Amino acid sequence: MRIPDRLRDWPVYRQLTGEAGDRSGRGGAATSPTTARLRPRTHSADRVVKSVCPYCAVGCGQDVYVKDEKVVQIEGDPDSPVSRGRLCPKGSATLQLTTGLSREHQVLYRRPHGTDWEALDLDTAMDMVAERVIRTRRETWEWEKDGARTARTMGIASLGGATLDNEENYLIKKLLTGLGVVQVENQARVCHSATVAGLGTSFGRGGATTFMQDLQHSDCIVIQGSNFAEAHPVGFQWVMEAKARGARIIHVDPRYTRTSALADLHVPLRAGTDIAFLGGIINHVLTEEKDFREYVLNYTNAATLVGEDYKDTEDLGGVFSGLDEDGHVYDPHSWQYEGTEVQQPTGDPDEQYEERTGGYGGSETHGSGGARTGPWPPRDETLRHPRCVYQVLKRHYARYTPELVEEICGVPKETFLEVCEALTANSGPERTSAFCYAVGWTQHTVGSQYIRAASVLQLLLGNIGRPGGGIQALRGHASIQGSSDIPTLYNLLPGYLPMPHAHAHETLDDFIEASRTKKGFWAEMRSYFVSLLKAYYGEAATPENDFCFDHLPRLTGDHSTYQTVAAQLDGTCKGYFLMGENPAVGSANTRLQRLGMANLEWLVVRDFSLIESATWWKDGPEIETGELRTEDIGTEVFFFPAAAHTEKSGSFTNTNRWVQWHHTAVEPEGDARSDLWFMYHLGRRIREKLAGSTDPMDRPVLDLAWDYPVTGPLEEPVADAVLAEISGHGPDGGPLSAYTELKDDGSTRCGCWIYCGVYADGVNQAARKKPHTEQDWVAAEWAWAWPANRRILYNRASAAPDGTPWSERKSYVWWDAESGTWTGHDVPDFVPDLAPDHVPEDGAEGVAALRGDDPFIMQADGKGWLFTPAGLEDGPLPTHYEPQDSPFPNALYPTTPRSPVRQTMAREGNRYHPSGDEPGAEVFPYVVTTHRLTEHFTAGGMSRWSGYLAELQPEFFCEISPQLAAERGLEHGGWATIVTARNAVEARVLVTERIRPLRVQGRTVHQIGLPFHWGPNGVVTGDAANELVAISLDPNAHIQEDKALTADIRPGRRPRGPDLPKLVAEYRRRAGITERTGTEVRK
């Protein structure tokens, strides 16, 4: 280059001479020719397609840029009111879900006892799977059990759905129900099922009571059981908005994280003790009379009298009345209100079949507890009667003192009281506080009661249904909320309708009468249920045949995912669908997961890459240890490549309950197909093969309404048509606008009553994309929220009993006397024209029975439940129990260390540790808790195969304190082996002061943090933290406890090959764990 040219390329020269017309040097003068020639990849895109991030449930908007029918870039959508253009590292890396080199595009087949994959034609593979389903179903069909009708197969199971679209979940549940398959589950079971039980029984619905954008109006936010800033970073912007407005942010967590760094106060506590902490705050509120009395008296069941037979844990040494110690189950009759009874959901008051079937699944249905029998219970408006709920609550929590909190949780008294003062000072008519939680609360043997404890506290403080208040459940998968609403869960039908249990001589009317409430919107359950049956079975469903009610398979207890594993190990479950879930590394006790799959006849895996659940037979840990040999494994494996979110249309329901639509940007390559395509065409093939069958067992699947339109050369089902069916159609075939239009005579069809209206006026409401800059902060014209596009649930409680706002500062919904309607910033979660002073007539039922001051319209009594008379299996009030594996006895109830009704699975490979003062507890002295990283996603199936993300977090590691490192001889950056009675794993050592020792019950306890994203496959590999976890479950939700367990840690790498199980066996021997341990007595 000549000197004059170089001179002209010098920015200072161009600035001085004005050659670029930029003497300030802030524009063209500072731009080099090379820079000027650069163009962004988005500049030449042929089109931009609106989408939604497929990772966590924040639901960030995305713009997908397409050129020459290839996705070239994905960026944040600046129009989205959820994310405002932001994406986290995972969201920014979603391009690799479409274009990544680790994606598979061909169907692969592993024949029984085969040692490698074979390529297989897609049509052939689909036919083979259809034939396997038909054969296994016929071989394992069961018409009845113990004389009661079941009409099902227990030989087939399915797992996965939280990463899928709502429409895909709908077809999965519809087809498998038609086939008589009841073992249908997804990630919600192992992540957030406790949320449905906890929130549902407290308020009437199992979803978050508020939405993330509303956090900006909070005066205090307590983040507990969540690392909000790292697990949901884009959603965390709303916490920062609140802080900028003066809100106090408190983070309660064993680890000091980025959330803690941005909080005003970090409170470290021992993992597994949150109920003691929250119970202490409840006690403080009650003893200091800091409750919002007018709210509590009018909007909760505080004044309701409990029956004389009720005995509290304070009376019985840690258990409630009604405990059957032999069966380890509660009979809840003594928990009822005086003079009345609220039945368990899906229960028959006469036959008491919930008691016969163990009550499983009741807490995850509609939450209100089911049908009420008898008169309205008496109330004491003074709150002084010793049996009113308010006084019962005071006695129950009287011993949850600051001193006890310090002894159990390791939280100093002064710090604890600082939290109490912050919450109470920021709650009341003028101020509101919010709680945010995630799986740090749900994944415990008492996980449902963790959420119940926060619910009790928020009701006492008057924070439910009000702006800046509520409880925000932070969910971890794009549509884990949707896969609960439109459930791929064994005990639910869409809209939290209960699956029927096995009964002799049960009719639809018997079932509805036993399940509906007499008051509120659950009184209309027959309309919801019949409309669902019409959506499922179409013209075949008639009044004469009970709308095909007998086509539904029946439950006989717990059929959740961990029972499926047991069924696989026992040889009763033969076939298994895995759709976007990776239990080989992602579920508790992963070794048992893999051994279960090794006992199957056939396995279908649908995913982007060859995840561990697809390849365990070839390179799993048990192959290395010699416990399994590839040649001996008879499982036939089909791998079907899945379409990415950019390659299909559909909707995700985010943690706000917002149903958001993503559009197809490009067609999938090779054999990759959507799960909608897979389920539709599998159902079509099965029905074609069964056409003409006269066998009664085939009638349900042949009667399914399965005539969905398809489009394009791939014959992709039209997702809009599926969403329209979910939304519902009226007698004339036109779209319905609201669930109040549903009828019980078969004239309406609706696939999910709480989603009724998402296709109102024939318009896909989920696809609405009005920019947030063009509407208010509620953003009612972006997407659609269930139910009825309401953004804050129970918002009648945002107004005082007389209908006026509690304060102007916190006004949200109020009564407009002039128009005779409720109005405000949101769709009222109430009867629109029901006056605040309305008192129903005697004998009124359903919606007509609601008072004008009953904000909890889904509850049997219209009130928020401080005390749950029914609906939960483990007690009407949250109570502190130690985790299944704990270094400490229960300081509150020494004779009842753990929940007496927790679910255990005593079998080889799932042994529990001695705990507290039991002999051998010292062998596993440290507390382990698992956690999430920003850069990875759940079990790693959507992140460990991404080069972008793998480079950011390449290795599995353990976080320990400097004190523990010194005690055990561990070096920063070195290796450590963590051991439990289930397995041992190795991890890099991260020595950090972010995780501190605590003083608990007079001694020091160390805690270990483990991220749970690794496994042996992918761009980066490592041991899976879930190898260490036992299967011990919450009895309400059947969710595992993996946020608090015990272990030992030692320097160095773990043994290889057969030496690994020998190490675990040696630890068992030292701890006194035998093949009988855990099978004799449960304490």
Q: How would DSSP label each residue in 412-438? A: -HHHHHHHHHHHHHT-SSS--EEEEE-
Classify 975 as helix, strand or coil.
strand
- Phi/psi of residue 261, nearest 5 degrees: -65, -30
- Phi/psi of residue 304, nearest 5 degrees: -70, 140
Convert the pLDDT of each residue in 360-388 to its tens digit. 445 555 454 555 555 678 999 999 999 99
pLDDT computed for residue 18 by the predictor: 63
Which residues are bridge partners to 1004 per DSSP? Answer: 999
Domain 108-187+483-507+537-648+657-683 CATH assignment equals 3.40.190.10? no
Q: Could you tell me the CA-to-CA distances from 1070 to 919, 1008, 1063 in Å, in that order?
A: 10, 21, 11
Q: Which of 288, 241, 229, 205 is nearest to 468 (CA)?
A: 241
pLDDT computed for residue 3 by the predictor: 58
**Beta strand segments in 810-882, E:** 813-816, 821-824
Task: Evaluate if residue 26 carries a pLDDT over 70.
Answer: no
pLDDT computed for residue 517 by the predictor: 86
Contact 203, 859 (CB under 8 A): yes
What distance in Å separates the CA atoms of residue 330 and residue 323, rounded to the nearest whole number?
4
Which residues are bridge partners to 784 per DSSP? Answer: 659
Task: Evaluate if residue 359 carries a pLDDT over 60.
Answer: no
Please name the residue that has the structure tokens 């309708």: 497
DSSP state of 864: B
Query: For residue 731, how many other CB atoms are within 10 A of its CB?
Result: 12
Task: Evaluate if residue 559 carries a pLDDT over 60.
Answer: yes
Look up residue 632 and give its amino acid. D
Per-residue buried b or exposed e for 685-700, using 16+ beta carbons within 10 Å of the residue's own CB: bbbeebeeeeeebbbb
Q: Where are the alpha helices (DSSP H) in 80-158?
A: 89-92, 95-99, 122-139
Confidence band, pLDDT 50/70/90 cuts, at residue 23: low
Convert the pLDDT of each residue in 288-297 to its tens digit. 999 999 999 9
Q: Which of 996, 995, 1016, 1015 is nearest to 1004 (CA)?
A: 996
Convert the pLDDT of each residue in 913-931 to its tens digit. 999 999 999 999 999 999 9
pLDDT computed for residue 16 by the predictor: 67
Convert the pLDDT of each residue in 75-127 to its tens digit. 999 999 999 999 999 999 999 999 999 999 999 999 999 999 999 999 999 99
What distance in Å separates the CA atoms of residue 257 and residue 227, rounded to the nearest whole number?
7
pLDDT computed for residue 41 by the predictor: 74
Strands 636-641, 108-110: pairing kind: antiparallel
Query: For residue 259, how many other CB atoms are within 10 A of its CB?
Result: 24
Contact 205, 771 (CB under 8 A): no
Classify 240 as helix, strand or coil.
helix
Q: What is the DSSP string of 24-53?
A: TSSSGGG--HHHHH---TTTT-SEEEEEE-
Question: For the chain, where do the domains classified as CATH 2.20.25.90 start and end?
Answer: 47-99
Convert the pLDDT of each residue in 791-841 to its tens digit. 999 999 999 999 999 999 999 999 999 999 999 999 999 999 999 999 999
Convert the pLDDT of each residue in 637-663 to its tens digit. 999 999 999 999 999 999 999 999 999
Mean pLDDT, rounded, for 51-72: 98
989's CB contacts (< 8 A; 6+ apart) are 957, 958, 960, 965, 970, 971, 972, 973, 974, 975, 976
**Beta strand segments in 469-556, E:** 471-473, 492-493, 497-498
Q: Is 520 left (phi over 0), alpha (psi -120 to 50) or beta?
A: left
984's CB contacts (< 8 A; 6+ apart) are 977, 978, 1027, 1028, 1054, 1055, 1060, 1063, 1064, 1067
pLDDT computed for residue 11 by the predictor: 67
Please name the residue that has the structure tokens 């957030």: 192
pLDDT computed for residue 155 by the predictor: 99
Domain 47-99 CATH assignment equals 2.30.110.10? no
Look up residue 156 and give its amino acid. I
pLDDT computed for residue 43 by the predictor: 83
Classify 335 as helix, strand or coil.
helix
- Helix, strand, coil percent content, the chain, rounded in steps of 5: 30, 20, 50
Convert the pLDDT of each residue in 131-147 to its tens digit. 999 999 999 999 999 99
Mean pLDDT, rounded, for 778-801: 98
Contact 714, 680 (CB under 8 A): no
Task: Evaluate if residue 350 carries a pLDDT over 50.
Answer: no
666's CB contacts (< 8 A; 6+ apart) are 66, 69, 70, 71, 98, 646, 647
Instruction: Name the CATH architecture for the domain at 903-1071.
Output: Beta Barrel (2.40)
Task: Evaluate if residue 351 carries a pLDDT over 50.
Answer: no
Confidence band, pLDDT 50/70/90 cuts, at residue 4: low
Contact 569, 592 (CB under 8 A): yes
Task: Evaluate if residue 356 carries a pLDDT over 50.
Answer: no
Mean pLDDT, rounded, for 452-462: 99
User: Which uninterrupted H or E stretch holds 911?
Assistant: none
pLDDT computed for residue 357 by the predictor: 37
Q: Could you tell me the CA-to-CA distances from 282 to 396, 681, 786, 1031 in Å, in that order?
A: 10, 53, 31, 31
What distance in Å separates the CA atoms of residue 916 and residue 900, rounded to the nearest whole number?
16
pLDDT computed for residue 390 by the predictor: 99
pLDDT computed for residue 91 by the predictor: 97
Query: Cβ-count burial of 1057 within 10 angstroms (0-12 exposed, 13-18 middle, 19+ buried)?
Result: exposed
Task: Evaluate if residue 545 carries a pLDDT over 50.
Answer: yes
Report the share of the chain in percent with pLDDT over 90.
89
Among 24-28, 236-240, 845-849, 948-952, the least confident range? 24-28
Task: Evaluate if residue 219 carries a pLDDT over 90.
Answer: yes
Q: Return the structure tokens found at 731.
A: 């007698």
What distance in Å separates the CA atoms of residue 568 and residue 846, rounded to the nearest whole number?
44
Report the share of the chain in percent with pLDDT over 70.
93
667's CB contacts (< 8 A; 6+ apart) are 69, 647, 712, 714
Mean pLDDT, all residues of the chain: 94
For the chain, the distance separating the N- and C-terminal CA atoms, rounded to the nearest angstrom, is 84
Mean pLDDT, rounded, for 393-411: 99
- Phi/psi of residue 726, nearest 5 degrees: -60, -40
Query: Cβ-count burial of 819 within 10 angstroms (0-12 exposed, 13-18 middle, 19+ buried)?
Result: exposed
Contact 470, 795 (CB under 8 A): no
Please name the residue that has the structure tokens 């890396």: 93
Q: Return the structure tokens found at 741.
A: 């239009």
DSSP state of 1028: G
Question: For the chain, where do the domains classified as CATH 3.40.228.10 start and end?
Answer: 193-300+392-481
Q: Which of 561, 556, 554, 589 is nearest to 576 (CA)?
A: 561
Q: Return the structure tokens found at 704.
A: 């399914």
Q: Return the structure tokens found at 989.
A: 């050592």
Rg (CA), the chain: 28
- How many CA atoms, within 13 angstroms, populate the side-chain half-sphere of residue 324? 12
CATH T-level fold of 193-300+392-481: Dimethylsulfoxide Reductase; domain 2 (3.40.228)
pLDDT computed for residue 19 by the predictor: 59
pLDDT computed for residue 7 by the predictor: 61
Please name the residue that has the structure tokens 């260390």: 897
Question: For the chain, where do the domains classified as CATH 2.40.40.20 start and end?
Answer: 903-1071
What distance in Å separates the CA atoms of residue 699 and residue 552, rounded to the nearest whole number?
11
What distance in Å separates the CA atoms of residue 637 and residue 623, rounded to the nearest whole number?
17
User: Which uninterrupted H or E stretch holds 743?
Assistant: none
pLDDT computed for residue 376 by the predictor: 79
- How many CA atoms, within 13 angstroms, populate the side-chain half-sphere of residue 189? 30
What distance in Å separates the CA atoms of residue 587 and residue 577, rounded to the nearest whole number?
15
